[in-house]
Amino acid sequence: MKKTALYEKHLQAGAKMVEFAGWQMPLQYAGVIKEHSSVREHAGLFDVSHMGEISVTGPDAREFVNWTVTNDVSGMKQGDIIYSLLLNEDGGTIDDLLVYCLGDEDFLLIVNASNADKDFEWLKSLSSEEEVVVENVSDKYSLLALQGPKSAEILRKVLPFPEDLKYYGFTDTMFEGVPVTLSRTGYTGEDGFEILISEKAELLWETLIETGKEAELAPCGLAVRDLLRIEAGYPLYGHELTEEIDPRSAGLKWAVKKGETEYVGKTAVDAVKPHKKRIGFEVDGRAVPREGFNIFIGEEQAGIVTSGTFSPSLQKPIGIGYISRTGKDLLSIGDSISVEIRGKKVPAKIIKMPFINTGVFRQ
């Protein structure tokens, strides 16, 4: 299995390590509840170096990226980031990703760890007739995520960045003589930053941990990252997104170009009549819904749970799933459903996502 540059730091900090997408990654340190509290109230530091990075450069880079992803990158300027999807010809989701505009002929795609090789091969297969160079540069970088309401306060003592760095924007800065790409992005629903660096990742980790002590910064693992993203209502590839799920069913139509602009999968997406709908729900009681549990509308099995957890923020079980959206099953916010948990149908109701009031940076 692969190890990130921070592997030894995780061991020294007493992290419980697990295999994830072919990587040895920290699952937790002090425990999920403590780490959750750190991120929601103070700040947490994550190693997300397992994520993939794909570079697209050349005279046709902007046109190529705009054709291969669903969102519109035609107007992106240097420093802009956009969330998008990568689709197959049938309109199914190959991956969700972030597109960084490094320049007119230079784009960087941040993709999911489990899909990095698949995404790269797909993009390469589409690039044969274009004047672009597509490279998998994942091995060149480490990626750290500093998340929480005190993240800007901590980071400002370590890295220079503009006071008005926007949400879904990035800037180039330096750490100990090493170039850094610093973005105001994250996967927790809090204000935060993701830090892309090619060298001295261990020193950067140490510096942030030491600098953040007074602000109660804590190292955090994958377990709490998943809990935080569920509370924020964010989809996770392999759960809410797969090659069998189209953008409309996933509730991600906002990340798809409007009008006649072509992109891979457009014909299928335009033709699809969604037969299911992604929903968020809360459960009545303390029983926790889990992936794969059945969702019922009355006595009819009408859907399935894709993610579920007990929310420390809400002090109740919550989940994300898909239900049929045809005919009488077309439900709305506040409508009742039930979830089969340990052989019993437990009452639940559909609620609006995100489940919490997010703290992402707004200018």
Which tens digit of pLDDT belongs to each residue from 107-153? Answer: 999 999 999 999 999 999 999 888 999 999 999 999 999 999 999 99
Q: What is the pLDDT along the chain (363 residues), one digit of tens a residue?
A: 999 999 999 999 999 999 999 999 999 999 999 999 999 999 999 999 999 999 999 999 999 999 999 999 999 999 999 999 999 999 999 999 999 999 999 999 999 999 999 999 999 999 988 899 999 999 999 999 999 999 999 999 999 999 999 999 999 999 999 999 999 999 999 999 999 999 999 999 999 999 999 999 999 999 999 999 999 999 999 999 999 999 999 999 999 999 999 999 999 999 988 889 999 999 999 999 999 999 999 999 999 999 999 999 999 999 999 998 765 556 889 999 999 999 999 999 999 999 999 999 987
Residue 39 and residue 145 share a domain: yes
Residue 218 and residue 147 share a domain: yes
**Cα separation of 25 and 14, whole Å?**
12
What are 208-234's pLDDT values in tens digits? 999 999 999 999 999 999 999 999 999
The pLDDT, as a whole number, for residue 59 is 97
User: Quick count: other Cβ atoms within 10 Å of Cβ 150?
Assistant: 22
What are 34-65's pLDDT values in tens digits? 999 999 999 999 999 999 999 999 999 999 99
Contacts of 286 (CB under 8 A, 6+ apart): 310, 316, 317
Residue 10 and residue 155 share a domain: yes
CATH code, domain carrying 131: 3.30.70.1400
Domain count, the chain: 3
Residue 88 and residue 120 share a domain: yes
Residue 150 and residue 45 share a domain: yes
Domain contains 97: yes
Domain contains 176: yes
Q: Which of 105, 137, 169 is the last residue of a domain?
A: 137
Question: What is the extent of the structural domain holding 65?
Answer: 52-137
The pLDDT, as a whole number, for residue 332 is 86
Q: Report how far Cα 237 is from the mean position of its chain's Cα atoms.
A: 8
Domain contains 260: no
The pLDDT, as a whole number, for residue 275 is 86
Domain contains 116: yes
3-state secondary structure the chain: CEECCCHHHHHHCCCEEEEECCEEEEEECCCHHHHHHHHHHCEEEEECCCCEEEEEECCCHHHHHHHHECCCCCCCCCCEEEEEEEECCCCCEEEEEEEEEEECCEEEEEECHHHHHHHHHHHHHHCCCCCCEEEECHHHCEEEEEECCCHHHHHCCCCCCCCCCCCCEEEEEEECCEEEEEECCCCCCECEEEEEECCCHHHHHHHHHHHCCCCCEEEECHHHHHHHHHHCCCCCECCCECCCCCCCCCCCHHHCCCCCCCCCCHHHHHHCCCCEEEEEEEECCCCCCCCCCEEEECCEEEEEEEEEEEECCCCEEEEEEEEECCHHHCCCCCCEEEEEECCEEEEEEEECCCCCCCECCCC
CATH code, domain carrying 155: 3.30.1360.120
The pLDDT, as a whole number, for residue 70 is 98
Residue 281 and residue 338 share a domain: yes
Long-range CB pairs of 294-301, under 8 A, 24+ apart, other chains included: 294/339, 294/340, 295/321, 295/322, 295/323, 295/337, 295/338, 295/339, 295/340, 296/337, 296/338, 296/339, 296/340, 296/345, 297/323, 297/324, 297/329, 297/331, 297/337, 300/329
